[in-house]
Amino acid sequence: MNPKSNPFSAAGSGLIRGGLSAYGEKIFGSGSEYVQSNISKCFSDPQYYFQVNDHYVRNKLKIVLLPFLNRGHWTRITEPVGGRLSYEPPINDINAPDLYIPCMAFATYLVLAGISLGLSGKFTPEALNWKFVTGMMGWFSEVMLLKVSILSLGGGRRLCWTW
């Protein structure tokens, strides 16, 4: 039987397509809601970790490279927001965690690795890609080792990707 000559075939396929579409939307819709609700627990706002200025970067590098010269406090600055305490962003608090300095350090590493490969005559895009991949694997393994260490020392039940 030819499906084009059968009038019920088009109606059936539309019905099946509509039913599967609704079912898929239900599955993926609830899944995306679940991911969004749980990701907000761990990743509150990525933009928060990039709120820096030149003064912050200079002072943070001074603390990282020469910590014995820091005469200030080592605690985070809190502010009341909506009846609960929240931490100040990095632009206002030198002890706040940021992602700007690690990302710029990684980008600098890639640029210097590219220059080094070029000067030695071994530069290829694949070699630079390999430096990127091994750097990311190292960064990921460092974060995982840190998280496992914190968990094994009783630092918390729930492990999120941020502090």
In tens, the pLDDT along 67-104 reads 898 887 888 888 888 888 888 889 999 888 899 999 99
pTM of the model: 0.65
pLDDT of residue 3: 54
- For residues 88 and 113, the model is more confident at 113
Same domain, 91 and 107: no
**Which sign, positive or negative, has the C-alpha torsion 99, 57, 51, 163?**
positive
Domain count, the chain: 3
CA pair distance 163, 161, nearest whole angstrom: 7
pLDDT band of residue 158 (cuts 50, 70, 90) is: low
Domain that holds residue 11: 1-42
Per the rule left: phi > 0, alpha: psi between -120 and 50, beta: everything else, 75 is: beta
Give the distance, in angstroms, between the CA of residue 29 and the centroid of all CA atoms in the same chain: 23
Same domain, 155 and 118: yes
Asked if residue 129 is part of any domain, the answer here is yes
Asked if residue 50 is part of any domain, the answer here is no
Percent pLDDT > 70 in the chain is 68
Distances (CA, A) of 66 to 59, 77, 82, 83, 96: 10, 21, 37, 37, 17
